[in-house]
Amino acid sequence: HSDDDLKWLIQNLEERNEAAEMWEHVIHKTNNRISYSAKRCKPTDGGPMKYLSVTVFEDCSAEVLKDFYMDNDYRKQWDKTVVDHHQLQVDSHTGIEIGRTLKKFPLLTSREYVLAWKLWHGNDNFYCFTKECDHDMVPRQRKYVRVSHFRSGWRIRRVPGRNACEIKMFHQENAGLNVEMAKLAFSKGIWSYVCKMDNAFRNYVAISHTPQGSVLSALTLIAKVPSELESQTVDVTVSMGTNRGEEILTQVAKQKKLSRKPSKKLIAKGLVLVGGAAICLSRGHSALGAKAALAYLLTKLNKRATPLKQTTHNTSI
């Protein structure tokens, strides 16, 4: 039920879930071309860490940003953690694409992602939702660690009143990494990865790189957001750089001050507004930017992680 998945994604992006969760501010960085903010929380159900983040690109269009994120061939050129990516199947009726991505990690066994994803376009938004699946063409192999849980999705839209676009992302996955090490790697490595991605995006625009329209994919089969979901989408975030930017940074500063106090109760009550939140830099299928950030820092940490519990999931969007 792909429309149900889109509804679930929108609810998470707009933080409309019923259960109150304790979100922790992770990072806020900016330069004259790009800004990035992220927060995370540990789910009450014991699942993998959740990330909610926002990246704002100056001087770009939503259409080009969407094409950049979905271009697997170009991704392999600039993202050196991607060892291989290939398409497995495309359903022309549902618009669902399935692919397999292999990513390398320093000191660790390569991680294998078998994912299914779908795109939608609304009046002013593009959406992509991705989750793990199994496929007959890719049996499990001992030489790779199959990622057992993956829920990731983003929304791309223009920032009102500016020549800029934001991509907001919800991201959750279990790649079999030690939780504390993964948190440290993300915090320390993600901004370098964001800047590298921005350079790749500017080069993408400069060479007028466009995806191959003749190749059937989720991008060419992009669906329309159902009217009932489009009417429910409400902007509950504030993009960085608007007239409320100072207010957001002030609230972030207050949260940092609270976090230095010993009371966990105080920390739990702190609300962090991170400029609209979003993007762990996964473009929905093989980007997996959070893991690229981990790979970047793992090179320096020189520590080993815990093994992944192998669990099979048969899932379709």
pLDDT, one tens digit per residue, over 46-63 is: 889 999 999 999 999 999
Q: What is the pTM of this model?
A: 0.74
Closest CA to 211 of 92, 105, 72: 72
What pLDDT score was predicted for residue 213? 55
Closest CA to 2 of 131, 89, 126: 131
Is the Cβ–Cβ distance between 284 and 152 less than 8 Å? yes
Closest CA to 282 of 87, 147, 151: 151
Distance CA 183, CA 197 (A): 20
Annotate 135-204 with DSSP letters as a single string: -TTS---TTSEEP-EEEEEEEEEEPTTSSEEEEEEEEEEE-S--HHHHHHHHHHHHHHHHHHHHHHHHHH
| Per-residue pLDDT tens over the stretch 92-121 | 999 999 999 999 887 889 999 999 999 999
What pLDDT score was predicted for residue 317? 57
As a residue count, the chain comes to: 317
Distance CA 151, CA 139 (A): 21
Closest CA to 274 of 110, 50, 53: 53
Question: Which residues does 150 contact at the CB level (< 8 Å), separation at least 6?
Answer: 113, 115, 130, 131, 132, 172, 173, 174
What pLDDT score was predicted for residue 190? 92
Distance CA 109, CA 292 (A): 14
What pLDDT score was predicted for residue 175? 86
HSE (side-chain half, CA atoms, 13 Å) at 46: 0
Helix (H) or strand (E) segment spanning residue 214? none
| Per-residue pLDDT tens over the stretch 57-98 | 999 999 999 999 999 889 999 998 899 999 999 999 999 999
Mean pLDDT in order along the chain per 10 residues (317 residues)? 86 78 92 96 88 96 94 90 93 95 88 96 94 95 94 96 95 87 87 95 84 77 89 46 36 43 30 25 40 45 39 40
Q: Could you tell me the two tokens for 315? A: 């899932």
Distance CA 159, CA 241 (A): 9
Other CB atoms within 10 A of residue 37 CB: 27
What pLDDT score was predicted for residue 17? 66
Rg (CA), the chain: 19
- The residue assigned the tokens 């398409």 is 87
What pLDDT score was predicted for residue 107? 80
